[in-house]
Amino acid sequence: MAAPARAIEPQEQLADPALEHRARELGQELRCLVCQNQSIDDSNADLARDLRTIVRERLTAGDSDDQVLQFVTARYGDYVLLRPPFRTGTLILWFGPVVVLVAAILALMLRRRRRALAEPAPLSPEESRRLARLLDEEKGS
């Protein structure tokens, strides 16, 4: 099984294996704002490269993982996180797909109901004659 390709270039890697491991872990939590569905570790975009550099600089300066994430989200917002926090401002990210699905289901149900409640099709000539005969028989009784 092949491992996914990483966009990290050799000159970006830190000499300290522990710091590099932390940088890779953080890189998997941050979204490339250009590619949107890739982490910064998986993206070749210039912005992803810049974010990888910022992460490594902050780690080298002694920041904790949380401090690095706070620094990046302060600059780019919660959208930069691949798993955004559950807050009022991110509710659309969490519940938007569910709301759209429920709305689509309700629209389909209403459409079917409208069709069921619509006026019936007009009677065929044969059905009209039969109905007239039945009504005449009813009057004669």
Q: How many CA atoms lie within 13 A of 3 on its CB side?
A: 4
Give residue limits of the domains in the chain. 10-85, 89-140
pLDDT of amino acid 63: 93
Q: Are 53 and 17 in contact (CB under 8 A)?
A: no
Spatial CB neighbours of 25, under 8 Å, sequence gap ≥ 6: 65
CATH 1.10.8.640 correct for 10-85: yes
pLDDT in tens, the chain (141 residues): 434 446 667 777 777 889 999 999 999 999 998 887 889 988 888 999 999 999 999 999 999 999 999 999 999 988 899 888 887 877 777 788 889 999 999 999 998 888 877 777 888 999 999 999 999 888 876
CB count, 10 Å around CB of 89? 11
